[in-house]
Structure 1
Amino acid sequence: MYEKPYRSILKSISWRVTGTIDTTLISYLITGSIETAASIGIIEIFTKMLLYFLHERLWNKINIGKKSEPEYHI
């Protein structure tokens, strides 16, 4: 099984939207400052998208748990 790089990019973006909302909310609850929370959220969007993309591409090269053809059980 092979995943094209653009699939990893789309997954990175969708996960980061979810993660950034979570990080921003937690940052706001801890700091009480919407400005600080937004700053933290904006910075982590870019750093974590890059890390996730690299993580996905690395795991795409690892064959643990992959099969070239599906098994059919009747």
Structure 2
Amino acid sequence: MDSPKRTWTKAILWQVMGLLTMMLVGFFFTGSVMVGGAMALVNAVIGLTVYILFERTWNKINWGRIPLESNK
């Protein structure tokens, strides 16, 4: 299970990559840095929130996990 700190770190790094990508896509489709940036920011906030909820929910589900072998 990931610690909350690890989950947050992964989520923030993922969102930074997504923010940059979305800014480029927004700029490409609108021709505006401001509109592309606003689209990216809204997307990042929503995406970060959903990702954290998704990760924390899956950490509570044991289905499909392979138990670690103990060092004996």
Q: Specify the TM-score bucket, using the shorter chain as the normaliser.
A: 0.7 to 0.9
TM-score w.r.t. the length of structure 2 is 0.85
Alpha-carbon distance between aligned partners in 2 of 1:6 and 1:50, rounded to the nearest angstrom: 15
TM-score w.r.t. the length of structure 1 is 0.83
List, as ranges, runs of 4+ consecutive aligned residues in structure 1 with deviation greater than 3 Å.
none
Unaligned runs of 5+ residues in structure 2 are none
Partner residue in 2 for 1:58: 57
When the two chains are superposed, the root-mean-square deviation of aligned CA atoms in Å is 1.5
Higher RCO, Cα 8 Å, sep 6+? 1
Aligned length: 70
Superposed CA deviations along residues 21-67 of structure 1, whole A, max 9, x for unmatched, are 11111111000111100111122221111110001011111223212
Moved more, 13-22 or 60-69: 60-69
